[in-house]
Amino acid sequence: MSAPAIADDAGRALVNVTVVTLLRVDGPGRLVALANAEIEIDGVPILVQGVRALRSGAVLTVEAPQFRDRDGRWCPGVVLPDPVLAEIAAQIREALAQ
């Protein structure tokens, strides 16, 4: 699942986003799938592991990876720009629809 390149507002960086693995999760909880995505920025690949697809009623949300800090609070493991997370979400939704 690969997407066309996304360019930043100034057109300086070429970014490709690809969901490389998707693991469906069956069970009673909200978690529907876990994914790994590759974000390639000007030819440099970055692997983001643990992207979560969550269902709440009829709504499917996709969240960047998170971890618990020592106080038990959930914190972002990586902060992704909105267009990048939106592309990952679109690819996950497409894969889950198949």
Q: What pTM, to 2 d.p., does this model score?
A: 0.84
pLDDT at 81 over 60: yes
Q: How confident is the model at residue 95 (pLDDT cuts 50, 70, 90)?
A: very high
Which tens digit of pLDDT belongs to each residue from 15-44?
Answer: 999 999 999 999 899 999 999 999 999 999
Q: How confident is the model at residue 91 (pLDDT cuts 50, 70, 90)?
A: very high
Q: Which residues contact 98 (CB under 8 A, 6 or more apart)?
A: none
Q: How confident is the model at residue 77 (pLDDT cuts 50, 70, 90)?
A: very high
Provide the mean pLDDT of the chain.
Answer: 91
Which domains are seen in the chain, by residue range? Answer: 6-97 (3.30.1120.40)
